Structure 1
C-alpha cells in the first residue's frame, strides 16, 4: 500500500538529517532581513536532497532579524530578548517554507512557542510522520525557553527526530583551527572528536549543543552551504566537510 512516503533512490551515508543554518544565510547581499532570492537558492538545494529520498528537517537562526544576546547587551531583560529572538526564527522559518512550497516541496513549520494561527505546535510524533512522508519540517522558536541558543535547539530536535547526523551549513568547507578568512595558514580538519572540539574551543557551535550530540552519538557535519549541490554530496559521503563524532 502506498502511504505517501518517498521511495529511496540514493545510497545515503546519512538519510535522516537535521540541517542547521544561520539566519544570516537568508540575508543574501543585504545587511539585514530576508532576501527571498537567497531563500530560493537554499530551497533548491534542500529540494534536490529531499527528492532523492533524504528525510530533512531544518532549524534556522534569527540573527538576520534579532539576536537575543545583542538585545540583552543593550540593557534588555535577557529572557525577554531571547523570546524576541525566537520570534525572529519563526519569521525565517515561514520565509523558507514559502520558498520551498513555491518549487513544489511540501513543508511544515513547527514552533516550540504555540501560535496555531501561524504554524503547527511542535509535536514529535507528528514531525517524524511528516518527514516519513517526504515533507520538509522546519523547527522554529528554538527550545521555547530563554538562555538556550538555536544550536542547542537544533541539537535537541536532531536527537528527538532520531537523526543520522546534524548538518551545519556555514561559509567555509569545514572546521578550521582558526578563521581561514583571517589566517590563510589555518589548518582544516577532516575528522574531529567531540571532546577535541570542546577542549580546543573550536566554536563549531556552543558547548551544550556539542555535549548533547555527543551523548546522543549523533555526528556533526560541517560543510559549505553555498557550494552548488553541497547538501546532496555530503549526504552521500562525497562532499568536502568536517565530520565530528566519537573516536
Structure 2
C-alpha cells in the first residue's frame, strides 16, 4: 500500500481503498500497521495547498456510508475518533488533532446532505471488501482476572446492597426489579469483581452488533446482569 502520511498518534497511514476520485483521490480509506481503519476526505486542493480530514472509524460504518445509511459528514464527525487534520503545504505535511477544521461550522466539513448517492451495485465490491474487515475479537484471558482499576465497581455493588438492606429494615417488604443495567464509560478491559461472576461463562455482556457511537477513544458498554440475587430484597 502507498504511504499517505505519518502521524504521531497512530503511526504511518497507508492508502488502502479509494472510494471517489477526480484526477486525485478525494474520499478514501487508510490503514496503519495495527490494521485500524481511517476515513480520509480531501477538503481542499488549490494554490494554498491540500487539506484532508481524517478520522479513525471501522468497517461497519464505512459500509453504512456506502449504503447511504450515513452521510459522509455523519461518518467523519459522529462515527469517527481522533479528528485529524492533515495539510500539505510547500512539500511538507502538517498534522493537527481536533482543531477548528472540525468545528460544526467549519467550511472544510462535508455538506449536511453528503450521501454517496450510489447507483445500485456501484459499491458492491467495496462493501464486500470492508465486510471482510469486520472483526469481533474476544480473549477470555482478559476477563479471568480482576482489574484493580475497576475495584470501585464492586464497591458500588456492595454499597447498593447495603442501601437495600436499610430500606427493607425501615419500610418492610419492598419489591425491586431483578434486572440491573449499568452503562460504563471505560477505556481498556472490563472486569467484574464479584465471586459470583468471576468466571466469564457465568455472566453475559450484551451490546449491539456494533458500536455506533465513536465520538472519542472510550466506549460505552452495557452490562446486563440477569438473576442478581442480592437485588431481590422482597
TM-score of the aligned structures, taking structure 1 as reference length:
0.20
Normalized per residue, the structure richer in strand is 2
Larger Rg: 2
Higher helix share: 1
Greater relative contact order (Cα < 8 A, sep 6+): 1
